[in-house]
Amino acid sequence: MAAGAGVVDDGTDESVEARLGRFFDSATGGAALGPDDDYFALGLVNSLLALEIVAYVERVFQVRVEVEDLDLDNFRTIARIAAFVRGKWGSGGAGRPA
Amino acid sequence: MALAGLLERARAEAGDWDRVGALPADVVRDVAALGLLGSDVPSRYGGLGRDARELGELCAALGGACSSLRSLVTVQGMVGAALLRWGTEAQRAAWLPALASGALRAGFAATEQGAGTELAAVATEFTRQGGEIVVSGRKLWITFGRFADVFLVLGRYPDGLGAVLVEADRAGVRVEPVHGQLGLRAGGLADVTFDQVRIPAENALATKGFGLSHVVGTALDHGRFTVAWGCVGIAEECLALAARHAATRVQGTTRLVEHQVVRAALGRMLVETESARALCERAADDRGSIPRTVTAKYAAARAAAHVSTQAVQVLGAAGCADGAAVARFFRDAKVMQIIEGADEVAEVAIGEHAVRRHLLEGDRPCT
Ligand SMILES: Cc1cc2nc3c(=O)[nH]c(=O)nc-3n(C[C@H](O)[C@H](O)[C@H](O)COP(=O)(O)OP(=O)(O)OC[C@H]3O[C@@H](n4cnc5c(N)ncnc54)[C@H](O)[C@@H]3O)c2cc1C
């Protein structure tokens, strides 16, 4: 809970990436991915998990993933998802959590 | 006709529909007129705007009468959900009102000879040519494919999986009815061949690479949700039929229900049925969770299969007779353990979720 609250409270890149790191670590059975590892290319993501990533990002970071956002480049690494989330927070529309 | 009247008619006639292998056209019209094909579609797109619980209860009620009727709502809902989630505003505006009203009927075309569980193996080809996409491939087991006006088709571009909408009246679409399958006999099944079918590029949903995981994934999630609730309906109805029979049927001087083993069987059936309902309610209340819906569908399909099997047992020959409702539910329930993710596949996915949940303990939405 503390780590989760940290992500929203301070909104630092590290927190977002750390949170995503934990998600992917658990989702891939402890593959210990680096921020730039492409888990799609590594074959670690089946189709059910790919949709769960969207649901997870929307739920935990309180952003809305639109059809225009469906670009593998937004999702293929932890660093890219973090950048995507920061972009959503910054763009106002999706609203960064307080 | 009100929903109660529709359900009463379905209960009375489902056996005949099963035997002839089709739903009467006026029943389909009644379902559409009641708005049930767009139950959870937002009202701005012509739907009833109902929530997940209401959609679930509708599917339980329909499923308790006729699984093929419930499948009508499932298929239309799957294609609608994919459009609502991953369509552009133009695509939503173009298709959703017609799907919600039933002016257009949908088919979900994913399965192929070489791609059932493993949908990533589909061979249907999408080739871009100017402003058009050419679709070539053969899809099997399309529920209500015989009557569909538009198909949501899973296929592959040279560089990734995609999903497109193909209208049934385009040149090169061939629909062959499928008859005599174990269950969902009134489900209007068909195999559909797409032979160099040209569609406009705006019929493509999402970009390449997201056709299976996201577009078809969202459709399947919606399908699992409504199938799960339909299975709750099957189990509840079979339990009621078995209890009534056991309470009234007399062998010699003994009513069936006086046998402890018969009462115990009914007890097991009740626990399975109520467990399935509880998991479906939980999935409805947390509709954003894919694992909860996978779990609910798995549990409900198993409950429907077990409870219907036991119901046939309790009814004995009466349960085996031509036209027996429990026999139809028994056949339909078996199908539910195979479609929208077979039991074994669900078990693996749920197991993966168990690991994930353990490792992510404490994660909460940032609200
Ligand atoms: C009545 C009916 C209606 C249908 N309607 C539609 C429809 O509208 N649209 C559509 O696209 N498809 C439809 N289907 C097809 C359905 O989705 C497939 O049957 C289903 O996905 C399973 O694929 P398969 O039959 O090729 O079985 P297979 O993939 O060959 O699997 C057969 C069995 O092997 C086991 N198995 C398979 N893979 C695994 C695994 N990875 N791990 C463990 N065990 C495994 C399971 O027990 C499974 O039941 C329908 C089917 C039926 C029977």
User: Between chains, do B356 and A62 touch, taking CB under 8 Å as contact?
Assistant: no
User: Between chains, do B366 and A60 touch, taking CB under 8 Å as contact?
Assistant: yes
* A31 in contact with chain B, both atoms CB, cutoff 8 A: no
Is the minimum distance from the CB of B113 to ligand 1 under 6 angstroms? Answer: no
Q: How far is A16 from chain B (nearest CA, A)?
A: 12
- Name the CATH architecture for the domain at B106-207: Beta Barrel (2.40)
Residue with tokens 């369509």: B87
User: What are the boundaries of each domain within chain B?
Assistant: 3-101, 106-207, 213-360
Tell me the sheet residues that pair with B173: B194
Q: Is A9 among the domain residues?
A: no
Is the minimum distance from the CB of B122 to ligand 1 under 6 angstroms? Answer: no
Output the CATH code of domain B213-360. 1.20.140.10
Q: Is A31 among the domain residues?
A: yes
Q: From the CA of B297, how far away is ligand 1's center (Å)?
A: 15
Output the CATH code of domain B3-101. 1.10.540.10
d(C-alpha B290, C-alpha A28), whole Å: 17
Torsion of CA B187, B276, B232, B273, to 10 degrees: 130
Tens-binned pLDDT, residue by residue, of chain B (367 aa): 799 999 999 999 999 999 999 999 999 999 999 999 999 999 999 999 999 999 999 999 999 999 999 999 999 999 999 999 999 999 999 999 999 999 999 999 999 999 999 999 999 999 999 999 999 999 999 999 999 999 999 999 999 999 999 999 999 999 999 999 999 999 999 999 999 999 999 999 998 888 999 999 999 999 999 999 999 999 999 999 999 999 999 999 999 999 999 999 999 999 999 999 999 999 999 998 899 999 999 999 999 999 999 999 999 999 999 999 999 999 999 999 999 999 999 999 998 888 777 666 555 444 3
pTM: 0.93
Q: Is A76 among the domain residues?
A: yes
Pairing status of strand B150-157 against strand B106-109: parallel
Q: How many domains does chain A have?
A: 1
Give the CATH number of the domain where residue A41 resides.
1.10.1200.10
**Which protein residue's CA is at the shortest distance from atom 44 of ligand 1?**
B344
Chain A CA closest to residue B87: A67
Pairing status of strand B160-167 against strand B204-205: antiparallel
Which residue pairs from A27-31 have beta carbons closer than 8 angstroms and sit at least 24 positions apart in sequence? A27/A52, A27/A53, A27/B352, A27/B356, A29/B352, A29/B355
